[in-house]
Structures are given as C-alpha cells and as structure tokens.
C-alpha cells in the first residue's frame, strides 16, 4: 500500500470550502424543516380535517420518496413550474428542507402528544388561552421529549447533503470526489472527507446533549 | 392581610343572605359514548357553602366537577354560575353560551386535581404567577408578589424557587391550591386532592382546605376524608351510579342516613378504617 498524504494539505482549503457549503445547506434546510415541521405537527393535531389531511398527505409523500429524487426533481422540474431559476444550492436546500420537515413533523407531533393530557386540563381551568397553553405549558415540555430524535434527524440531514453532489453542488462529498479523480488518491482524500464530516457533525450531538442536560436540571 | 374570599362573613349569615345559588346544576346528563355517567343531576351550591360529595368510584363525582369547570361537555341540562349559563347540554335546543361569557365566568372557578398537575418545568412561584400574568394581565412584579403571598398562605414560602420534582406530594398539592387561588376564583373545586398522598402528608393539605372554608370560600369537594366532611362541610351529598341519592347536613348523613345505599357505602368505609 502506498499512501501519500502530502497532497492533502494542498487541497485542504477546497475541502473546507466544501464543508462550509455542507453546513450552509444543512443550516437552511434545518431552518425550513423546523418551522414547517412545527406547522405540520400542529395541523395534524388540530382535529380539523381541512388542516390535518393536507399535512398527512404532505408527510407521507415526503417520507416515502427518496431524497435524491426530490433533490433532482427540485433542480430540474420546479424551476419550470414556478418560472424561476434555482441554482443547485437553492434546489438542494429547499428539497432537503421540505423532506426533513416531514420527519420533524412526526417527531414534534409525538412530542406534543407525549405531554400529559392533564397538563392541558390544568392550563384550561386556569383560563390560559390555547396559544398561551402551547407556548408556556405544552411546547416547553415537548421540547425535552423531541430533542433526541430531532437531533438525530438533523445529523442525518447533514449527511444527506452529500446527495446534492448529484446536481453538482460543491459540497464536501462532491469536492472530495473531484479531488480524488484529479489526484488519483481516493483513499487519502475520502478518509479526510469522512473525518471532516465527523468533525462538523459531532458538535451537533454535543450541543444537543448539553441542551438536554440543561433542561433536565430544571427538574422535569 | 388578604383573604381568599371577598369578605370574612360568618358562614351561616352569608348562606342565609345569598339565597340565589352560586353554582347550579339543572337536570344535567352526561354520557361517555354509550355509558351514562351523570343522570339527571340537580344541585345548588350557595355562596360560602362547603359541599362535600361522597360515593363509590364510578358514581360520577369527578365527572360532575369536571363538567362544572368545563373540562367535559354535557348532553342535557344546564350549569350556571351566578345565574349565568356556562354550559348547556349539546342535545338541548336554544342558545349556547358564547365564548366570551365562558372565558369570563371560567375565572370564577378554580380546580385542584388529584394528581396535582403542576407544570413540571416551572418553579412553584412561576406555576402560580403564570395565569395571573397571562390571563388577568398582571405585571411580572405584581404576579410574583401575588405568588409569594399565596405561597406564604399555604406554608410554602421557602419553596418558591423549587421545581415540583423537589417538592413532596403534600407540598405540591398546596402549591396547586395556591395556583388555583391566584386567579381569585369565587368557587373552588377539589377532586380527591388527598387521595394520591401518603397518609402523613394529608393533614397539611386538609389544614389549608379548612382554612379556606373558614374564610368563606364556596367549595365543592370530592373526597374520601370523612373527618374533613364531618368538620368542614355544610352539606354532604352521597352519589351513586350517576345520581344524587341523598344529601343532608354531615351529622345527619353520617349518623342517620336514610337510604340503604348510603348506609351500605358508609358501613363499607368504616370497615376499611
């Protein structure tokens, strides 16, 4: 086996730029997914068919179709539908955001429903409005429940950004592929890529664990 | 020193003066699916009265309380607070109370639950201050001051910044009472609030309830604590299978109950004790 690691330093800036793009896609997609996921969860719970059924249809569609297909579809088909050009970053971020929203929607729903019904009773007899009940009683408790699965989902999202390479986005995986081809050193380059993925993904797990511990200290 | 009720009036005098019932249940029927839980309940509670509901489990006592504080809908009949209908049976024709009325009258009713139902992520003080701030519009300082005052009344001043998980059952229940009182209700409902407590913690909670009763609070209490019923109740109501079987002053119910079912229930209670 003949490994040459010297090339690595030369190409590190490119890999780091790729990692930056990966994080950017993850950030945008996670923001979309979190907001939309919460909307979906509340719609599913609402009990009003006109809200819950579209939410249900959305979730099942995005859960069952492969994210890769969704990314490709967003890049090639959506611009035609909306008459607006999408670059690969936008298409990938949007597709992944909408996709992960479906998963987060179910996670948030489970979290909200996991809060004891008696908490709602107590809030109701105190006269708290529906909004205030969610804001001050239900959601803070649901947060503690959803933190582990939601964190895992975001970490999966970060890895799924690699799929954006299929439409040419210069995220970490694509950059790694191109450098491997150029240097004929796939082993060294892709090992570096894997390590960089670990380095940017692990802090998410650490942050979540820290947040979990802080919520636990407050005694629930 | 603030009181829980608006005026410290001799209880007997106030019940004589306020002839119109404060809480009225008129022909209330409630079903859960095919199961009839309340069958034609007629009940009046006068201002300042302490009414205790006893009866076997499944008799509908808790459901009755839950209907009064609007946690459960009723199918037939009407529930009124100060003469204002707050609940009308779903099967009744005619006007249903509007949301504004319901929201307004709901503030007059406070409820304490068997399982405390404190908000676990908030401290005792925050639990109590939340509703006054958000519903009654108190400022944060005013709400906090109110919370401290009520914590002192129930004997929990030193626990203001503790979370419910750090409190004993009795302390949690007293905090729950303080939380309900923060909304300055005119009538307090108690749903077996000592049933989930270790025996040695029951006393401290009953003490707070007796204090409330002495201050003239209108109370509707579901309990198995016959001692409390005997000492503090103006009226004891025995319920069985969704109906009021017998109601009278505590001395009468406990010494010379009329109905056979009442006698059977009380006998069973004495055997257990």
Inter-chain residue contact A220 with B165, CB threshold 8 Å: yes
* Best mutation target, A115, A122, A123, A134, to test chain B (most B CBs within 10 A): A122
- Closest-CA residue to B92 (of B43, B29, B35): B29
Residues 196-255 of chain B with CB under 8 A from chain A are none
**Positions in chain B whose pLDDT score sits under 50:** 1-18
Structure confidence by residue, pLDDT tens digits, A35-87: 999 999 999 998 889 999 999 999 999 999 999 999 999 999 988 898 888 89
The reported pLDDT for the residue numbered B16 is 47
Testing the interface with A: which of B110, B121, B193 to mutate, by most A Cβ within 10 A? B121
Q: Is residue A121 part of a domain?
A: yes
The pLDDT value given to residue A185: 84
Query: Which residues of chain B make contact with A220, given a CB cutoff of 8 A?
Result: 120-121, 163-165
Cross-chain residue pair B131–A126, CB shorter than 8 Å: yes
What is the rounded radius of gyration, in angstroms, for the C-alpha atoms of chain B? 18
Question: In sequence order, which residues have a C-beta less than 8 Å from that of residue B37 and are 6 or more positions away?
Answer: B30, B31, B60, B63, B242
- The verdict on residue A4 lying in a domain is no
- Higher pLDDT: B164 or A7? It is B164
- Contact assignment for A128 to B134 by CB distance below 8 Å: yes
Tell me the nearest-neighbour CA distance from A75 into chain B, angstroms: 44
A215 CB neighbours in chain B (<8 A) are 121
Is pLDDT at A217 greater than 80 in this prediction?
no
Report the alpha-carbon distance of residue A52 to residue A133 in Å, rounded: 20
User: Measured between alpha carbons, how far is A96 from B129 in angstroms, rounded to an integer?
Assistant: 42
Residue A1 lies in a domain: no
- Alpha helices per DSSP H over B215-259: 226-232, 250-255
The number of folded domains in chain A is: 1
The reply to whether A20 falls in a domain is yes
Scanning B157-196 for CB atoms below 8 A from A yields 162-166, 179-180, 183
- Interface confidence, given as ipTM, is 0.84
Mean pLDDT of chain A: 92
Nearest chain A alpha carbon to B165: A219
Q: Answer whether residue A3 is part of any domain.
A: no
Q: Confirm whether A72 is domain-assigned.
A: yes
Contacts of A146 in chain B (CB under 8 A): none
Contacts of A218 in chain B (CB under 8 A): 121, 163
Question: Is there a contact between B131 and A141 if contact means CB atoms under 8 Å apart?
Answer: no
How many residue pairs from chains A and B have C-beta atoms closer than 8 A? 67
> Which has more confidence, B267 or A203?
A203
Contact at CB, B134 and A121, closer than 8 angstroms: no
> A90-100, pLDDT tens digit by residue?
999 999 999 99
pLDDT band at residue A188 under the 50/70/90 scheme: confident
In a domain, A57, yes or no: yes
pLDDT at A218: 62
In A93-122, the residues whose Cβ lies within 8 Å of chain B are 116, 118-119, 121-122
- Indicate whether A181 belongs to any domain: yes
User: Is the C-alpha dihedral spanning B82, B86, B88, B89 positive or negative?
Assistant: negative
SS3 A212: helix
Tell me what the mean pLDDT of segment A173-180 comes to. Answer: 93
Q: In the Cβ-directed half-sphere of A113, how many Cα atoms lie within 13 Å?
A: 13
CATH number of the domain residue A176 falls in: 1.10.3720.10
Beta strands in A2-88 (DSSP E): none
> Does the distance separating the beta carbons of A141 and B121 come in below 8 Å?
yes
Distance CA B170, CA B201 (A): 5
Q: Are the beta carbons of A125 and B111 separated by less than 8 Å? A: yes
A220 band by pLDDT with thresholds 50, 70 and 90:
low
> Over pLDDT 70: what percentage of chain A?
97
Q: Is B267 touching A (CB cutoff 8 A)?
A: no
* pLDDT, tens digit (0-9, with 9 covering 90-100), for A117-136: 999 999 999 999 999 999 99
Residue numbers of the domain that contains A81: 11-214
Residue A132: its chain B contacts at CB < 8 A?
134-135
């Amino acid at each position: 086996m003949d490994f040459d690691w010297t090339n690595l330093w030369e190409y590190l800036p490119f890999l780091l730029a790729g990692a930056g793009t990966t994080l950017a896609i993850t950030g945008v997609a996670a923001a979309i997914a979190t907001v939309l996921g919460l909307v979906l969860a509340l719609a599913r719970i609402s009990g009003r068919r006109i809200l819950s059924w579209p939410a249900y249809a959305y979730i099942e569609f995005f859960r069952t179709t492969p994210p890769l297909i969704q990314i490709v579809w967003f890049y090639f088909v959506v611009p035609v539908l909306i008459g607006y050009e999408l670059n690969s970053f936008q298409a990938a971020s949007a597709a992944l955001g909408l996709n992960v929203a479906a998963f987060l929607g179910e996670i948030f729903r489970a979290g909200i429903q996991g809060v004891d019904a008696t908490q709602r009773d107590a809030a109701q007899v105190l006269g708290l409005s529906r909004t205030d009940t969610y804001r001050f009683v239900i959601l803070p408790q649901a947060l503690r429940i959803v933190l582990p699965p939601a964190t895992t989902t975001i970490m999966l999202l970060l890895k799924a950004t690699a799929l954006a390479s299929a439409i040419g986005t210069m995220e970490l995986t694509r950059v790694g592929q191109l450098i491997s081809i150029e240097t004929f050193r796939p082993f060294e380059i892709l090992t570096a890529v894997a390590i960089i993925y670990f380095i940017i993904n692990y802090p998410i797990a650490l942050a979540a664990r820290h947040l979990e511990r802080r919520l636990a200290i407050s005694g629930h | 020193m603030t009181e829980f009720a608006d005026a410290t009036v001799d209880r007997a005098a106030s019940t004589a003066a306020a002839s119109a019932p404060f809480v009225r249940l008129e022909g209330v029927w409630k079903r859960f699916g095919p199961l009839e839980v309340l069958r034609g309940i007629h009940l009046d509670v006068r201002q300042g009265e302490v009414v205790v509901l006893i009866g076997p489990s499944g008799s509908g006592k808790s459901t009755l309380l839950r209907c009064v504080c609007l946690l459960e809908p009723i199918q037939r009949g009407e529930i009124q607070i100060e003469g204002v209908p707050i609940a009308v049976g779903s099967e009744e024709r005619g006007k249903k109370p509007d949301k504004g009325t319901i929201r307004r009258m709901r503030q007059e009713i406070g409820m304490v639950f068997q399982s405390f139902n404190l908000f676990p992520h908030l401290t005792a003080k925050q639990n109590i201050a939340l509703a006054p701030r958000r519903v009654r519009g108190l400022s944060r300082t005013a709400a906090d001051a109110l919370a401290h005052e009520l914590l002192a009344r129930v004997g929990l001043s030193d626990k203001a910044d503790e979370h419910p998980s750090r409190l004993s059952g009795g302390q949690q229940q007293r905090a729950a009472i303080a939380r309900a009182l923060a909304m300055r209700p005119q009538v307090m409902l108690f749903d077996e609030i000592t049933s989930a407590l270790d025996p040695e913690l029951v006393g401290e909670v009953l003490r707070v309830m007796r204090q409330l009763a002495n201050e003239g609070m209108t109370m509707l209490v579901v309990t198995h604590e016959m001692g409390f019923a005997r000492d503090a109740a103006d009226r004891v109501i025995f319920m069985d299978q969704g109906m009021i079987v017998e109601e009278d002053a505590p001395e009468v119910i406990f010494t010379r109950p009329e109905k056979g079912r009442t006698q059977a229930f009380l006998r069973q209670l004495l055997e257990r004790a």
